[in-house]
Structure 1
Amino acid sequence: MPDHAPDSVHALLHHAHAPGACDAITDVAGVRVGQVTVREGSRLHTGVTAVVPDALTTARASLPCAVAVGNGHGKLIGATQIAELGALETPIVLTSTLSAFRAADALVGWMLARPGHERTISLNPVVGECNDGWLSDIRTRAVTDAHVVQALESATPDRPEEGSVGAGTGMDALGFKAGIGTASRTARIGLEDYVVGVLVQANFSGTLRVAGRPVLSNQQDRHARTPDAQGNSCMIVLATNAPLDARQLGRVARRAVYAMGRLGADYRHGSGDYAIAFSTVAPARPPADAALNPVFTATLEATEAAILQSLLASPTTVGREGRVAPGLTWEHLTGA
């Protein structure tokens, strides 16, 4: 567990927008998160994280959605239909790279068993992944259908656990152990206040920079020392109750990818950097684009905070073949 409060991260990063009530993606009403962690000694560090929008019911088959691709070295299942139609039809599942395809099949099976889908013959499952092969025996493909269903069925509106949990169990980023992180920021459009909530699965390379200062670890050069290392990736899921259409959500999603750079991402060749943004509200009349600046800033801030949270919540981990991902501590950031 982190040795700090999320509001400490908010203060450290000098953010302008206030966090939501829990500083989490679940601050967006009707969004739940479920996670299952799969561990076996130092050999396996993997799992599943599911983001479940309650608004996907039999009466409402899709939500406005967009995908932004920073670097496309990834296996984001369902991305092309979202790009084409601007619609999210299923929960969003995150897992390990080689388990993504089994997870997609499990998600389809779970959806087909839902009331109202008795006659469904086409469905677009959305599954993102990062490569946990540095710390985990990824070829085992230890994530099963049952794990995916358990994550979906156990999803709650509580603040999600962060760090080495669920799909974040085997992640490392910016030279430190990483994993799942979440945050939210409020944004005003006109006279109305909305929430932008973010959940990240952080697994990307670069040099961590916080408030302009580099923060180094003894594992900073592990990609250079390990020529076969892959998976310098980040999956970002963004939910909002702002009434944005799919095109506007695409603009928002791009800001989430930009936020990685604020913390030092180097966007390497092998990086799969994606943001999936959806709204829980179908807009009758979307706001003017010129009114979106507060949402853009809230997105940058929430994503930056979620990534930093994913690092601070992840303890030092010894993985397969004795590989070590060192934990980031609050003292690294403050010098205390």
Structure 2
Amino acid sequence: MTARSRDLGIVVGALPTGRHNAITDVGGVRVGHHSLVAGEGALVVGEGPVRTGVTIVEPRPAVWRSPVFAGLHRLNGNGEMTGLPWIQENGQLTTAIGLTNTHSVGVVRDAIVARLHRERGDDELYFHLPVVAETYDGILSDINGQHVTAEHVDAAFDALSGGAVPEGSVGSGTGMICHEFKGGIGTSSRLVTAGGGQVYTVGVLVQANHGRRGRLRVNGVPVGERIPADVVPSPFDAAIRAARGSGSIIVLIATDAPLLPHQCDRLAQRAALGIGRTGGSGENGSGDLILAFATGNDGLPRVGLIEPGPDEIELRMVSNAVVNGLFDAVIDATEEAILNAIVAATTCVGRDGITAAALDHALLREAYAR
């Protein structure tokens, strides 16, 4: 496994982490990646170079059989996350979540529909409105070549697993840039103990492709100011007309706490504070979209054109006595997931030789200690 922020002595907050310090610490959640890396040199649209991929996050196996409550928040809306109107209306997430680049959202969405159709294998009247989110990897990759295919989505599904989650330049994070260093996928988790002794798990996964160098903070330390572009070059210096801070971040939050949809909305809002603590400011050119889901209620009936009932459903929810602890967990896990995305990422040379340099760990330690 690649290095993580804690390997460098950087610990965010006082709450304990789950076993893997990952979104998969929430029981039933699985993550799968498929990376696409091909070609080098000058950009030729349709040929490459290609630095992109697909990541799938599954809330629980066959989630269409037993949906989970969900909620969302938009910090800045220069991005896409499909399926949100139905979640806002119905409060339920009924599919796996796809992550990819901006110009491959459609093919990933369609491939998820096809995959779920094969999984269901029946003639029942039903519909799927998958959640697929994106960030822009066109600074490093031939994004207009639309190289992601349904086969790549299936490969990410086939790679689904619990346990440790590969981070950095992998899957949908392959071509992403964060605070002008190489970015990508990052994850973290926290355990929250309620007053009665019940322990809840909160996990976060980010696709980090946002931020400006000078604003990067690590536990409040201005490391971005201390590692300027004349020390570690910025890919934006070579990307003509690309504004610093343009990009996006997607945040996915999972918890096994029994939450209702409005409580999921509240958790999603708090992830914006984790983005802000690392220096993200929801820039105009950034799509900062957050989805939270809660697996603590079982037995929600499947959603379709034929509603199976029953007429009433017994539900559980945590009280407001617990909510502050969950808020803290989301903020800390979001901050650490962003840092893990940067720490785990490796230097990427993309189209036209544009380079997104990894944040050198020795430089980070020195800047953080100073």
Instruction: Report the TM-score range of the alignment, normalised by the length of the smaller protein.
Output: over 0.9
SS in 2 for 1:12: coil
Map 1:88-237; keep pairs closer than 5 Å: 88-115=93-120, 118-190=123-195, 191-206=197-212, 207-214=215-222, 215=224, 216-218=227-229, 219-220=233-234, 222=236, 226-228=240-242, 231-237=246-252
Give, in angstroms, the shift of residue 223 of structure 1.
7.4
1:67–1:56 Cα change, 3 Å? farther
Distance 1:37 1:189 in 2: 39
User: Match of 1:313?
Assistant: 344
SS in 1 for 2:253: strand
1:225–1:329 Cα change, 3 Å? same
Distance 1:33 1:296 in 2: 23
Distance 2:154 2:203 in 1: 23
Give, in angstroms, the shift of residue 334 of structure 1.
1.5
Map 1:277-288; keep pairs closer than 5 Å: 277-282=292-297, 284-288=315-319
Letter of the structure 2 residue corresponding to residue 167 of structure 1: S
Q: TM-score, structure 2 length as denominator? A: 0.85
User: Match of 1:267?
Assistant: 282
- Contact map agreement 2:64 2:95 (CA 8 A) in 1: no
SS in 2 for 1:292: helix
Give, in angstroms, the shift of residue 14 of structure 1.
4.2
2:257 counterpart of 1:245? no
1:58–1:140 Cα change, 3 Å? closer
Give, in angstroms, the shift of residue 302 of structure 1.
0.7
SS in 1 for 2:119: coil
Specify every segment of 5 or more residues in structure 1 that has no aligned partner in the other structure, as ranges: none
Matching residue within 326, 331, 353 for 1:300? 331
Percent identity for Structure 1 against Structure 2: 39
- Contact map agreement 2:247 2:285 (CA 8 A) in 1: yes
Distance 1:269 1:58 in 2: 35
Over aligned residues, Cα RMSD in angstroms?
2.0
SS in 2 for 1:275: strand
1:82–1:258 Cα change, 3 Å? same
Q: TM-score, structure 1 length as denominator? A: 0.93
User: Match of 2:15?
Assistant: 17
Q: How many residues align?
A: 333
Give, in angstroms, the shift of residue 178 of structure 1.
0.4
Deviations 1:259-286 (A, max 9, x none): 1111111321111001111011217231
Give, in angstroms, the shift of residue 231 of structure 1.
4.8
Give, in angstroms, the shift of residue 40 of structure 1.
0.5
1:217–1:166 Cα change, 3 Å? farther
Distance 1:275 1:117 in 2: 33
Give, in angstroms, the shift of residue 224 of structure 1.
10
Distance 2:364 2:122 in 1: 49
Deviations 1:96-126 (A, max 9, x none): 1000111000011111111365324321111
- Contact map agreement 2:178 2:210 (CA 8 A) in 1: yes
User: Match of 2:87?
Assistant: 82
Q: Which range moves more in the overlay, 278-287 or 170-179?
A: 278-287
Give, in angstroms, the shift of residue 227 of structure 1.
2.2
Letter of the structure 2 residue corresponding to residue 293 of structure 1: N
Letter of the structure 1 residue corresponding to residue 114 of structure 2: G
Give, in angstroms, the shift of residue 220 of structure 1.
4.7
Letter of the structure 2 residue corresponding to residue 320 of structure 1: R
- Contact map agreement 1:55 1:280 (CA 8 A) in 2: no
Distance 2:36 2:158 in 1: 17
Larger Rg: 2
Specify every segment of 5 or more residues in structure 2 that has no aligned partner in the other structure, as ranges: 41-48, 299-314
- Contact map agreement 2:271 2:290 (CA 8 A) in 1: yes
- Contact map agreement 2:4 2:343 (CA 8 A) in 1: no
